[in-house]
């Protein structure tokens, strides 16, 4: 089986119906987020590179057909029209790292209708998960206000692949490193880590543990100091560091308790021991809300390690996203369901400094000085360019983040910007609504 079977059953049944009815003309589907989750003033587009990898390798093979036969309980001959199907379409998308808003298409897929339908589930999954986590990581960057952040999420993400992606998304928005060894190696980002409480407990005393760790790792070391008593742990760590002549680059890690108060006491103890260059790292159920409180309180914490709550986007673990047909065979289409109305036609989003984003039809002339967000990234089933670097995505993110209004950047109760619809798009939507009400609903 290939990833072609990672789909909802109704994608297969619809695709078979389209093939039977010879409905294979080009269709455009638009993927967008209807509304932002609570406490979100913006989103960060992510997942596109995974989508392009998926579409580039998409092919329904014999094993996939056998799987469809098994779950549908239908004769092989009825599923054979799917055999050998590949993705031959185009993709226009917002590059990873860009800030996006509710209602704005993150990507649009244009392909023969059966193809565009079959890939829906995986495309949504890849964009939803990664945009959700990237947006959470971005808020941590805002909260940290220049302090380094590292990813400690692997052990509690929803599977190793999700952990790998969380490490990448953190790096994409500016995290300094990850504890995930495989991700660090694959992505060329720093691997970071210290020790667990079990390491301390395995020795007769904290001092024995610290000295053993330093012997095995002669470079800068970070000692976990809260296994028993935090202040005593800091005092012991300082004694070991001084006796070994270590200092620059070394750190102590606080992992529990009142991190702000403990950081103040740890800083005082380290300074009194003549170790002002030894840094303090904090971890333990941190997210942007906790980091924001600590930074605002002036806690002398140098580095924040964020894990579970960020890698799973615990407070907002999903997006209200949709992948909707907006055009078939050159004909604009739309949905009129209550609270789920979609705008017809292929689209573009134009961004101008000092103006609200403008969602327009794809072939509309752009406003003066506007930058189009969606770019053609795949044509005829092939990438139009090699994958961009993480650094390129970081630069896009930083530029967009800096341009956001301050109220959208707030950690608590942010106010997201609201994009506008262009005149031609508004006219087309009204015309298509009238046509549906006249020709379809009226019978």
Q: Which residues contact 10 (CB under 8 A, 6 or more apart)?
A: none
**pLDDT at residue 443, rounded to an integer:** 60
**Same domain? 94 vs 158:** no
Q: By three-state DSSP, how is residue 379 classified?
A: strand
Q: Please identify, among 244, 276, 311, the residue that sits at the C-terminal boundary of a domain.
A: 311
The DSSP result for 217-280, as a single string, is --SS-EEE--SS-HHHHHHHHHHHHHHTT--TT-EEEE-SS-HHHHHHHHHHHHHHTT-TT-EE
Residues of the chain falling short of pLDDT 70: 442-443
Strands 320-328 and 26-35 come out as: antiparallel
Strands (E), 48-144: 90-93, 99-100, 105-112
Q: Which of 391, 411, 410 is nearest to 399 (CA)?
A: 391
**Same domain? 263 vs 382:** no
Integer Cα distance of 243 and 241 in angstroms: 6
Q: Which of 210, 196, 201, 297 is nearest to 256 (CA)?
A: 196
- Alpha helices (H) along 145-180: 160-172
**Same domain? 203 vs 292:** yes
356-380 residue pLDDT tens: 999 999 999 999 999 999 999 999 9
**Same domain? 202 vs 121:** no
- Domain that residue 31 falls in: 3-133+316-441
**Same domain? 251 vs 173:** yes
**pLDDT at residue 17, rounded to an integer:** 96
Q: 254 in a domain, yes or no?
A: yes
**Same domain? 241 vs 382:** no
**What are the strands of the beta sheet with 222-224, ordered from one edge?**
177-178, 149-151, 303-306, 279-282, 251-254, 222-224
Integer Cα distance of 282 and 216 in angstroms: 23
**Same domain? 238 vs 261:** yes
Q: Please identify, among 311, 329, 355, the residue that sits at the C-terminal boundary of a domain.
A: 311
Integer Cα distance of 171 and 150 in angstroms: 9
**Same domain? 275 vs 177:** yes
Q: By three-state DSSP, how is residue 93 classified?
A: strand
Q: Read off the tokens for 81.
A: 């029209």
**Same domain? 86 vs 231:** no
299-323 residue pLDDT tens: 999 999 999 999 999 999 999 999 9
**Same domain? 221 vs 358:** no
Residues 342-355 as b or e (16 or more Cβ within 10 Å = b): bbbbbbbbbbeeee
**Same domain? 204 vs 243:** yes
**Same domain? 178 vs 325:** no
Q: 12 in a domain, yes or no?
A: yes
Q: 436 in a domain, yes or no?
A: yes
Q: 64 in a domain, yes or no?
A: yes
Q: 156 in a domain, yes or no?
A: yes
Q: 255 in a domain, yes or no?
A: yes
Write the CATH number for 64.
Answer: 3.20.140.10
Q: 138 in a domain, yes or no?
A: no
The number of folded domains in the chain is 2
Q: Please identify, among 259, 294, 311, the residue that sits at the C-terminal boundary of a domain.
A: 311
Write the CATH number for 303.
Answer: 3.20.20.70
Q: 216 in a domain, yes or no?
A: yes
Helix-then-strand count for the chain, H and E = 17, 19
């Amino acid at each position: 089986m290939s990833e072609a079977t990672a789909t909802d059953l109704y994608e297969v049944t619809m695709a078979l119906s389209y093939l039977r009815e010879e409905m294979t003309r080009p269709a455009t589907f638009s993927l967008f987020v209807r509304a932002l989750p609570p406490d979100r003033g913006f989103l960060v587009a992510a997942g596109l590179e995974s989508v392009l990898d998926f579409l580039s390798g998409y092919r329904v093979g014999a094993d996939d057909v056998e799987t469809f036969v098994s779950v549908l309980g239908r004769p092989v001959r009825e599923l054979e029209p799917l055999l050998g199907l590949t993705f031959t379409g185009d993709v226009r998308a917002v590059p990873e790292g860009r800030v996006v808003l509710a209602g704005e298409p993150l990507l649009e897929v244009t392909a023969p209708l059966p193809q565009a339908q079959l890939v829906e589930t995986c495309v949504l999954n890849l964009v939803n998960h990664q945009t959700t986590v990237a947006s959470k990581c971005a808020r941590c960057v805002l909260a940290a206000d220049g302090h380094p952040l590292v990813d400690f999420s692997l052990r509690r993400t929803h599977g190793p692949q999700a952990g790998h992606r969380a490490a990448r998304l953190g790096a994409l928005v500016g995290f300094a490193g990850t504890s995930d060894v495989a991700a660090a190696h694959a992505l060329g980002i720093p691997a970071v880590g210290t020790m667990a409480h079990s390491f301390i407990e395995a020795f007769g005393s904290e001092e024995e543990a610290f000295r053993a760790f330093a012997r095995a790792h002669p470079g800068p070391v970070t000692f976990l100091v809260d296994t028993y008593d935090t202040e005593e742990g800091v005092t012991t760590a300082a004694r070991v560091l001084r006796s070994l002549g270590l200092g620059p680059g070394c750190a102590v890690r606080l992992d529990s308790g009142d991190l702000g108060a403990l950081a103040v006491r740890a800083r005082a103890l380290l300074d009194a021991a003549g170790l002002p260059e030894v840094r303090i790292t904090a971890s333990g159920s941190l997210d942007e809300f906790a980091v924001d409180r600590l930074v605002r309180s002036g806690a002398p914490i140098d580095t924040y390690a964020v894990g579970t709550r960020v890698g799973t986007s615990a407070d907002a673990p999903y997006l209200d996203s949709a992948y909707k047909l907006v055009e078939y065979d050159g004909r604009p289409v739309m949905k009129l369901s209550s609270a789920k109305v979609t705008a017809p036609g292929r689209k573009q989003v134009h961004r101008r400094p000092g103006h609200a984003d403008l969602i327009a039809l794809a072939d509309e002339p752009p406003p003066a000085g506007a930058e189009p967000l969606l770019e053609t990234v795949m044509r005829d089933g092939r990438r139009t360019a090699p994958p961009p670097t993480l650094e390129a995505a970081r630069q896009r993110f930083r530029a967009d983040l800096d341009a956001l209004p301050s109220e959208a950047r707030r950690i608590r109760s942010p106010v997201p910007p609201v994009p506008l619809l262009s005149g031609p798009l508004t006219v087309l939507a009204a015309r298509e609504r009238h046509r549906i009400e006249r020709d379809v609903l009226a019978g």
